[in-house]
Structure 1
């Protein structure tokens, strides 16, 4: 099954995609938001072009499990996207994925402007990877 990982943000939306087996994850792109409608049009176009079968969205929960303002905005985005597609949309807690992505990119020597350009995609990869790691356990395969 091919998945699209989404790191939702008010200004930028990072995307990552899995291979057909759901075992490997790749950065796809960062969408710089102009209008809400353009964002959905671009996402649905990607879903069709890449043959996406399910979507994984990161929700930034606080450490205490409470929902932040950004989390509520991401949930609103999820509901709006759900009205535009029949694909299943899964969520994972994505607290600190941007920080983790920043550390990974810094460790690879990617800094400054290059890091900023890749950060949202790297966070989307982490979101998608964390979701995919849980699938075998849910199916009793590990």
Structure 2
């Protein structure tokens, strides 16, 4: 089964997609809020991307503090996910994303990506990290995610 990973942010949303077998995660796109009329239009595009990829499941990164506490952005991610669920009739899972952007930046540096280009792909790489973490779980752990 194919999965789409989402790293939702207030300014940019990174997307990743798995291979058809659901083993590996790859960068897909970065959606910038400034490129859309409003958040509703961004959600419509996000739903269209998920449908276009033929995903069977959506994995959304959930930003939580290291001690598990939730923040304002955590609640915003939950709200956006609920709105997306009304457009995309697939199973959704949350995956804790502590430090995913920091790790994504490290990945890009190690890959030799120029700093100017990193800003364009950091959110995609964070989505890859989130999705890869989910794919690494065994089926029982995935159901609890």
What's the CA shift for 1:97? 0.3
Provide the aligned C-alpha RMSD in A.
1.3
What's the CA shift for 1:116? 0.6
Picking from 125, 129, 132, the partner of 2:135 is 132
Aligned length: 139
Between 1:122-131 and 1:38-47, the stretch displaced more is 38-47
Matches within 5 A, 1:38-117: 38-117=41-120
Which 4+ runs in 1 deviate beyond 6 A?
A: none
> TM-score of the superposition, structure 2-length normalised?
0.91
What's the CA shift for 1:135? 3.1
Q: Where does the alignment leave 5 or more consecutive residues of structure 2 unmatched? A: none
What's the CA shift for 1:86? 1.3
Q: Distance in 2 between matches of 1:26 and 1:65?
A: 27
Q: Measured at CA, do residues 138 and 70 of structure 1 come closer, stay the same or move farther in structure 2, by a change above 3 Å?
A: closer
Q: Measured at CA, do residues 138 and 64 of structure 1 come closer, stay the same or move farther in structure 2, by a change above 3 Å?
A: closer
Between 1:28-37 and 1:123-132, the stretch displaced more is 28-37
Match of 1:23 in 2: 23
